[in-house]
Amino acid sequence: MELPKKANIVEVCPRDGFQSIKEWISTELKKEIIDRLIDTGFKKIEITSFVHPKAIPQMKDAKEIVSHCIEKHSNKDVILNALVPNLFGAKAAYESGIREITYVISTSESHNKANVKRSREESFNELKEIKKSFKDLKIKFAVATAFGCPFEKDVPVSEVEWMIQNGLEANVDEICLADTIGVANPLQIDRVFKELSKSFKDQSFSLHLHDTRGMGLANVVAALQNGVDTFESAAGGLGGCPFAPGAAGNIASEDLINMLTNMGIETGIELDPLLDTVELIKEKIKPVLTSHLAYVDRDKICVL
């Protein structure tokens, strides 16, 4: 089994995780969790999203979160990323001090409309506007529902290729394929990345996985075997798209890091302080965690 020696883990709990929690999480608690996650060693973290507060009230403190993070962490080797669904959000993010955004467009037209209230074409037009308006803003382009859609079900690889082609033409800085509703299976992951390596030689992709059906880590391994080395995950396995019925938590950062570490793949992230943070999330937010490690006795975790 040929695998990369190192992997980059992008922590998305403060964005994808918190957005799935209906009860208000205090800004102070959000800050504490983000601070701890950054101190754990993540080199990129999605700290919030600039969306309409009516759509996702949990994210209404986005500006304050960004101010705090810039003040506290801008001297560190960490990218502070915020998700934006449109030009309006990108402008707000940029003005708050954000210099890397996640810009999301769904591969399936129906999910894009449900998620960001636009056609894919409108979304791509705004992406070009963003690129033109904010020269020093890096863009991670998230290709949502790349492996399946809650409305259209099967998503052909040709549609994913069309999305990537459009993203490349818009000069995005990173392309992240997202299994928004956790339906991808390892064979599919293998086939899609093999296809893409033919259509887009030398183009790297990051991968955003949900563990809805328990295939999350299996999909990571299938992707690693295809040379993918950048994965998004959430502390505690929190997460879920509010506009995708049937979506559940992201793959849990602690489960992912435990597996990679045991496989000899370096992540640069310390498991122990991460597990402390997961305990804090468990205690204060009381979410349904899809994490496995969160339920293993602490002294039994690194048994090997």
Q: What is the DSSP string of 162-207?
A: HHHHHHHHTT-SEEEEEETTS---HHHHHHHHHHHHHHSTT---EE
Say whether residue 236 binds a second copy (CB under 8 A).
no
* Residue 280 C-beta: closest distance to a second copy, Å: 20
User: Which of the following is catalytic: 149, 176, 241, 302?
Assistant: 241
- 241 catalytic per annotation: yes
CA 214/CA 228 separation, integer angstroms:
20
CA 261/CA 117 separation, integer angstroms:
40
Segment near a second copy (CB under 8 A); pick from 130-138, 180-188, 195-203, 274-282: 180-188
Say whether residue 92 binds a second copy (CB under 8 A).
no
Site string for a second copy, 192-231 (x = CB under 8 A): -------------------xxxxxxxx-xxx--x------
E strand or H helix that includes residue 261 = helix 253-262
* Residue 279 C-beta: closest distance to a second copy, Å: 17
Say whether residue 188 binds a second copy (CB under 8 A).
yes
Say whether residue 233 binds a second copy (CB under 8 A).
no
Which CB contacts under 8 angstroms, 24+ apart, belong to 54-59? 55/242, 56/19, 56/242, 57/24, 58/18, 58/19, 58/21, 58/22, 58/24, 58/25, 59/15, 59/18, 59/19
Half-sphere exposure (CA, 13 Å, Cβ side) for 178?
A: 34
Residue with tokens 């099967």: 154
The answer to whether 82 and 102 are in contact (CB under 8 A) is yes
Complex with a second copy: residue 41 or 216, whichever CB lies closer: 216
Say whether residue 273 binds a second copy (CB under 8 A).
no
Among 100, 190, 195, 270, binds a second copy (CB under 8 A): 190
Among 28, 154, 173, 276, binds a second copy (CB under 8 A): 154
Nearest to 232 by CA among 277, 272, 161, 182: 182
Coil vs helix vs strand at 43: coil
Coil vs helix vs strand at 217: helix
The answer to whether 139 and 101 are in contact (CB under 8 A) is yes
Complex with a second copy: residue 21 or 296, whichever CB lies closer: 296
Site size for a second copy, by CB under 8 A?
A: 48
Say whether residue 267 binds a second copy (CB under 8 A).
no
Say whether residue 69 binds a second copy (CB under 8 A).
no
Interactions with a second copy, residue window 36-55 (CB under 8 A): none
* Residue 120 C-beta: closest distance to a second copy, Å: 20
Segment near a second copy (CB under 8 A); pick from 34-42, 111-119, 268-276, 291-299: 291-299
Say whether residue 1 binds a second copy (CB under 8 A).
yes
Q: What does the DSSP 8-state code read for residue 142?
A: E
206-209 and 100-106 strand pairing? unpaired
Say whether residue 264 binds a second copy (CB under 8 A).
yes
Catalytic residues: 241
- Which residues contribute to the site for a second copy (CB under 8 A)? 1, 3, 148, 150, 153-154, 181, 183, 185-188, 190-191, 211-218, 220-222, 225, 245-246, 248, 252, 255, 258-259, 262-264, 288, 290-293, 295-297, 300-301, 303-304
